Amino acid sequence: MTGAATRLTRELIAVPSVTPDGGDGQAPLRERLRPLGFRLENMGEGDVANLYARFGDQGPVVAFAGHTDVVPTGDETAWSHAPFSPTASGTYLYGRGAADMKGSLAAFTVAVERFLDRHPEPNGSIALLITGDEEGPATHGTPVMVRRLAERGEMPDYCLVGEPSCNERLGDTVKNGRRGSLTGELVILGVQGHVAYPHKAENPVHRALPALQELVDTEWDAGNAYFPPTSFQIPNIRAGTGAHNVIPGTLDVQFNFRYSTERTRDDLKAQIQEILDRHGLRYDLHWHENGDPFLTEPGPLVNALTESIRTVTGLDTHLSTAGGTSDGRFIAPHGVQVAEFGPLNDTIHQVDERVAMADLERLAEIYEGVLERLLGKA
């Protein structure tokens, strides 16, 4: 027999909620939560639906954060099974969003149903923050809900984000923080001219090379017990007109920091500008602040999660801050304990995205165990 978490995951996958999700992808969740006594509120903005659901009025509040929007499928003919026709094959369930992250949404919903069946009056409240704008710009999604909840004084105490966190086995990794992300759009200014008359021009590529090399060679910090050292990478660089005999007038350089809690966005900005100025460059520089680092040290949430994982899987999980950003970056700054845990991430955003059906059922058990440890009555 197919388990409850797998069945609900199939329902969610069957809705083609390519980002942004205007609400259709959240309908199966609303249908399951309303009969349980959850108060449902649409905190949508623009063409994005944001579902806020809450059970109970007292603290502490344990929240689950996730998203129903999914990335585009790409060439659907490359899929072994139609991406929005959830298909069980062998031990896996295939479909877009199976791992990222409709499986987690289903598992948490099933966990809540089972928990409330045993604890109809829990020692606190349960909330869900479900957005339709995580895979896209993420401007009308979780930030909107967090802002409104903060204004109302309703921020949760604990928040479990269902991002796919595991690498090789369910339970091997919990993300208890994330690095910050800061992007710079740098334009080095020169003077365009003929390559045969370099004295009448100023080549920004030549001028910039020593500074760029210093940026690449700089050790920004050594990291700490939870974070690896801050990294600096240049993903895009562009200059020239395409002609072999024209010195370019500008050099465009895009760079990105993934930074630890040893640094702040402001001191990174200041250090970049000091290096550029010291090399005598003329430049324009614009910043994109993608998110600050956050860290939840072992405490009630992390302990409840790691203990539940050990009970269900027998594994001693690894705490990690690796990987890209997540919506946890919007929640943690409000003093909320945030941890991320979900299924394996080996096929996310890929053709033939899949999740092990047995993992979905165990994931529901783990989530239920977290609720039991934080809100269960003795």
Q: Is 81 annotated as a binding residue?
A: no
- Please state which CATH number belongs to domain 180-291: 3.30.70.360
Q: Are 288 and 183 in contact (CB under 8 A)?
A: yes
pLDDT at 259 over 70: yes
If we measure between CA atoms, which residue out of 35, 52, 39, 32 comes closest to residue 132? 52
Q: Is 349 annotated as a binding residue?
A: yes
**Is 134 an annotated catalytic residue?**
yes
Q: Considering the candidates 69, 133, 327, 340, report the single residue annotated as catalytic.
A: 69
In sequence order, what DSSP letters do the residues of 270-338 get, joined into one string? HHHHHHHHHTT--EEEEEEEEE--EE--SSHHHHHHHHHHHHHH---PEEE--SS--THHHHGGGT-EE
pLDDT at 255 over 70: yes
Give 41's strand partners.
Answer: 52
pLDDT at 308 over 70: yes
Rg over CA atoms, the chain: 24
| pLDDT computed for residue 378 by the predictor | 62
Give the pLDDT band (50/70/90) at residue 1: low
| pLDDT computed for residue 323 by the predictor | 87
Give the pLDDT band (50/70/90) at residue 51: very high
| pLDDT computed for residue 17 by the predictor | 98
In three-state secondary structure terms, 183 is: strand
Strand locations in the chain (E): 39-42, 50-55, 61-67, 87-89, 92-94, 125-131, 158-161, 173-175, 177-178, 180-189, 193-194, 231-239, 246-247, 250-259, 283-291, 294-295, 318-320, 337-340, 354-356
Q: Is 135 annotated as a binding residue?
A: yes
Q: How many Å apart are CA 312 and CA 291, to the nearest integer?
A: 33
Q: Is 163 annotated as a binding residue?
A: yes
Domain residues of the chain, as ranges? 4-178+293-375, 180-291
Task: Using the Cα atoms of residue 165, residue 167, residue 171 and residue 177 in order, give the sign of their dihedral.
Answer: negative
| Angle value at C-alpha 129, between 128 and 130, nearest 5 degrees | 105
Question: Model confidence over 79-99: pLDDT tens digits?
Answer: 999 999 999 999 999 999 999
| pLDDT computed for residue 2 by the predictor | 84
Mean of the pLDDT values across residues 286-304? 96
Provide the percentage of residues in the chain whose pLDDT is more than 70. Answer: 99
Q: Considering the candidates 21, 133, 134, 340, report the single residue annotated as catalytic.
A: 134
Tallying the residues shown for the chain, one arrives at 378
If we measure between CA atoms, which residue out of 68, 36, 65, 69 comes closest to residue 52? 65
Question: Model confidence over 319-378: pLDDT tens digits?
Answer: 999 988 899 999 999 999 999 999 999 999 999 999 999 999 999 999 999 999 999 976
What topology is assigned to 4-178+293-375 in CATH? Aminopeptidase (3.40.630)
Q: How many Å apart are CA 120 and CA 100, to the nearest integer?
A: 30
pLDDT at 313 over 80: yes
**Is 69 an annotated catalytic residue?**
yes
Q: How many Å apart are CA 87 and CA 148, to the nearest integer?
A: 38
| pLDDT computed for residue 377 by the predictor | 75
Q: Is 288 annotated as a binding residue?
A: no
Identical fold, 4-178+293-375 and 180-291: no
pTM equals: 0.92
